[in-house]
Structure 1
């Protein structure tokens, strides 16, 4: 997970990352996730 977060700060070669917000929480048993942009 931490490697993915670090990649998000850089993004792909064609991207311009202006901000990344990370909120660590206790796992609650979800079965998926959602990406918002």
Structure 2
């Protein structure tokens, strides 16, 4: 996903991408509902 952000869609003009990685906080779990 991050790599794609550097180029974007065909109509995009991307000047730059800033990426910060951080540890998730205050999340107790993950659930997918459908």
Do these two structures clear the TM 0.5 threshold for a shared fold by scoring above it? yes
Number of residue pairs matched by the alignment: 27
Structure 2 unpaired stretches of 5+: 28-34
TM-score calculated relative to the size of structure 2: 0.69
More helix by share: 1
Gaps of at least 5 residues in structure 1 are: 31-37
CA RMSD of aligned residues (A): 1.2
Distance 2:3 2:21 in 1: 14
Larger Rg: 2
Q: What is the TM-score normalised by the length of structure 1?
A: 0.64
